[in-house]
Chain A
Amino acid sequence: MSLTLETRWSRLANFWADYRQSRVAVVALVVIAIVILAAVLAPLITPQDPYNQATLDLAAARLMPGEIGPGGYVHWLGTDAAGRDVFSAILYGLRTSLLVGVLAGTLALMLGGVVGLLAAYYGGRLEAVIMRVIDLQLSLPAILLALVLVALLGQGLPQLVAALALAQYAYFARTAHGAASAERNKDYIEAALSTPLPAMRVLFRHLLPNALPPLIVVATVQVANSIALEATLSFLGLGLPLTQPSLGSLISNGFQFLLSGRYWISIYPGIALMLTVVAINLVGDQVRYVLNPRRSR
């Protein structure tokens, strides 16, 4: 049975009323909205396409923040060694970082969700084997897994997304398994199973929606983790190349100039990265708090 539109709206309104209790979390949500908007609208609001080699001018290289370049406009955040406007590079980098983070998070959610649900639904041997593998993977740090997977899969955006998703799906699998196991023995599932509905339908239409809230919380945090992990890999030189830059590759690109005092090339992309990751984490924290059924009201 599906909920009527009205109940959905009132549920959403309730959620928002609880969510806005924390001012920090509301600010974080605004930050995320701005970041997404800036990334999406990057071609419209940046003065330069930083990766079109034709528009780059070496005469504009390593300008201080606030200087006016040969293009006749102010480089508010300076330029890098190739004459790229750092502000433009950040917005384009944000696009890549967000894309990688959201894709990897979604992929990990689907993979982990399905694995966890299947384990909880079928139980027995299958469950034991799956959960043992998941536990093992969770005992290894994600950074190490991602490092190995990137080394195995090679460089490039699809490979990177796959590596990040595989390194992180175990969190979703464990959460989905936990939530679904708790639901599995409830009456409504038994009732649904006693009807001639196919098992898959019961699994995805009845079990999944009720196991969803904890998965949503994990998903928010994992998107932030994916972005941070991707930045780390790119910084280590194992992620995306500078021709397809993310915030991590921009920071890595500027790192060599840090010691000579040209801080802006890596510090500003880093600030953008930090704002994004911390804001998503704060939102995730608040969503977890609101969705927690044991919360004292």
Chain B
Amino acid sequence: MIGFFIQRLLQAVLVVVAMSMLVFVGVYAIGNPIDVMIDPASSQALRESLIQRYGFDRPLYAQYFIFMGNLLHGDMGESFIYRLPVFGLIFSRLPATLELAISAMLIATLLGIPLGIWAGYKPDAVSSKVIMGVSVLGFSVPTFWVGLLLIMGFAVELRWLPSGGRGPVTELLGMKLSIGSWEGLSHLVLPAFNLALFKLGLLIRLARAGTVEVMSSDYVRFARAQGLSESKVLGLHVLKNISIPIVTVFGLEFGSTLAFAVVTETVFNWPGMGKLIIDSITVLDRPVMVAYLVLVVVLFVLINFVVDLIYGQLDPRIRIKAAQ
């Protein structure tokens, strides 16, 4: 097990280093930040001094090593636009994004699993067909377009909910969160639901496929023969047996929910990390782009690493294959 652990850890580190190089070289290749940052009318001396200060006169690999060195000290540079340390800037936006992503995952789970089980339990019912239709829509219709429809329906026409922004935040557990007040919560509902739709479609499909398979198994037949009520069969035997793949996907999908938040945050003007990265791409704020991308890569690699470990724990065959 330790050998497996070390091997996977090395792989993960290798991936992070490779991706950080790619991101760094890639981001370096676009535009010239000097042109964006410095007023063209400024004097040559000022230009030179700024170029030197940011290290643009050094070769690319030197800039990369300086960047990585600083990164290991927890210093990701300073935003060209906000003139703030990037690390602090990104982390100040993190609670908003996390709140949105976690709310979306909750909505997707609490709605998706019961609906999926129902659709698998009664595959021929009209209600099940409707549920599957909704899941196809959640899958294929672009998120931003559904967001627009939600704004038009609930904010412009019905005037039930605000059309965007985060609303008031309250201090909870050391983070500024929206869920502390009704007003804040009302701002969260639409974006969270919007972000949830894709996962909702996915969870419905997973839960349905699992239920269909489990329903025809021997242990369900025996549970019924024992005289268990249908709700007990579903709640105990079916739910337990479909939960393993769902938990896996849930873990893996959390990272992609954070990534998709980019779209939802832009539609609903939600001040999270995603909005920050879009803004910095448009103004070529290089340090923010690099830092955000490296952070996301680390996050994904971390999630995959943990899932790999759990798999190895659950399934000895994977461990043995890896050790060979």
A72 at the interface (CB under 8 A from B): no
Contacts of A140 in B (CB 8 A): 259, 297, 300
A224, A261, A282, A285: the one within 8 Å of B156 (CB): A261
| A159, B257: Cα distance in complex, Å | 26
A251 at the interface (CB under 8 A from B): yes
- Report the minimum CB–CB distance from B278 to chain A (whole Å): 6
Contacts of A259 in B (CB 8 A): 151, 155-156, 163
| A154, B277: Cα distance in complex, Å | 16
| A154, B27: Cα distance in complex, Å | 11
B185 at the interface (CB under 8 A from A): no
A281 at the interface (CB under 8 A from B): yes
Q: Is the beta-carbon distance between A232 and B142 smaller than 8 angstroms?
A: yes
| A285, B282: Cα distance in complex, Å | 37
Q: A136-B15, A231-B145 are in contact. Are A144 and B259 (CB under 8 A)?
A: yes
Q: Is the beta-carbon distance between B259 and A143 smaller than 8 angstroms?
A: yes
The segment from B53-61, B132-140, B210-218 that touches chain A is B132-140
- Report the minimum CB–CB distance from B248 to chain A (whole Å): 13
A50 at the interface (CB under 8 A from B): no
| A282, B135: Cα distance in complex, Å | 12
Q: A232-B143, A266-B148 are in contact. Are A281 and B136 (CB under 8 A)?
A: yes
Q: A141-B256, A258-B152 are in contact. Are A151 and B142 (CB under 8 A)?
A: no
Q: Is the beta-carbon distance between B262 and A281 smaller than 8 angstroms?
A: no
A274 at the interface (CB under 8 A from B): yes
Contacts of A232 in B (CB 8 A): 142-144, 263
Instruction: Find the residue from B139, B144, B281 having the highest chain A CB count within 10 A.
Output: B144
- Report the minimum CB–CB distance from B143 to chain A (whole Å): 7
Q: A143-B259, A238-B281, A270-B145 are in contact. Are A277 and B26 (CB under 8 A)?
A: no
B289 at the interface (CB under 8 A from A): yes
B141, B256, B266: the one within 8 Å of A278 (CB): B141
Q: Is the beta-carbon distance between B137 and A143 smaller than 8 angstroms?
A: no
- Report the minimum CB–CB distance from A159 to chain B (whole Å): 11
**How does the 8 Å CB contact mask read for B271-314 relative to A, with 1 for contact and 0 for none?**
00000011001100000010001001100100010000000000
Q: A140-B300, A232-B142 are in contact. Are A267 and B152 (CB under 8 A)?
A: yes
A170 at the interface (CB under 8 A from B): no
Contacts of B142 in A (CB 8 A): 228, 231-232, 273-274, 277
B323 at the interface (CB under 8 A from A): no
Contacts of A238 in B (CB 8 A): 278, 281-282
B67 at the interface (CB under 8 A from A): no
**How does the 8 Å CB contact mask read for A170-201 relative to B, with 1 for contact and 0 for none?**
00000000000000000000000000000000
B27, B136, B149, B262: the one within 8 Å of A147 (CB): B262
| A266, B143: Cα distance in complex, Å | 15
A34 at the interface (CB under 8 A from B): no
| A251, B293: Cα distance in complex, Å | 27
Q: Is the beta-carbon distance between B27 and A228 smaller than 8 angstroms?
A: no
B23 at the interface (CB under 8 A from A): yes
B30 at the interface (CB under 8 A from A): yes
Q: Which of B94-143 contact A (CB under 8 A)?
A: 136-137, 139-143
Q: A237-B278, A270-B145, A273-B142 are in contact. Are A152 and B30 (CB under 8 A)?
A: yes
B252 at the interface (CB under 8 A from A): yes
Contacts of B145 in A (CB 8 A): 231, 251, 270, 273-274
Q: Is the beta-carbon distance between B26 and A148 smaller than 8 angstroms?
A: yes
- Report the minimum CB–CB distance from A72 to chain B (whole Å): 31
A139, A148, A277, A282: the one within 8 Å of B141 (CB): A277
| A282, B142: Cα distance in complex, Å | 15
| A255, B163: Cα distance in complex, Å | 12
Q: Is the beta-carbon distance between A148 and B293 smaller than 8 angstroms?
A: yes
A129 at the interface (CB under 8 A from B): no
Contacts of B304 in A (CB 8 A): 139
Q: Is the beta-carbon distance between A154 and B30 smaller than 8 angstroms?
A: yes
A136, A224, A263, A267: the one within 8 Å of B140 (CB): A224
- Report the minimum CB–CB distance from A137 to chain B (whole Å): 10
A121 at the interface (CB under 8 A from B): no
B158 at the interface (CB under 8 A from A): no
B64 at the interface (CB under 8 A from A): no
B29 at the interface (CB under 8 A from A): yes
Q: Write the residues of chain B forming the contact surface with A, with a CB cutoff of 8 angstroms.
A: 15, 23, 26-27, 29-30, 136-137, 139-145, 148-149, 151-152, 155-156, 163, 252, 255-256, 259-260, 262-263, 266, 277-278, 281-282, 289, 293, 296-297, 300, 304
Known contacts A139-B252, A255-B148; 7 additional CB pairs below 8 A are A140-B259, A143-B260, A148-B293, A231-B145, A236-B263, A270-B145, A285-B136
10 residue pairs A–B, Cβ–Cβ below 8 Å: A140-B297, A147-B277, A232-B143, A235-B263, A236-B266, A251-B144, A258-B156, A259-B163, A266-B148, A270-B149
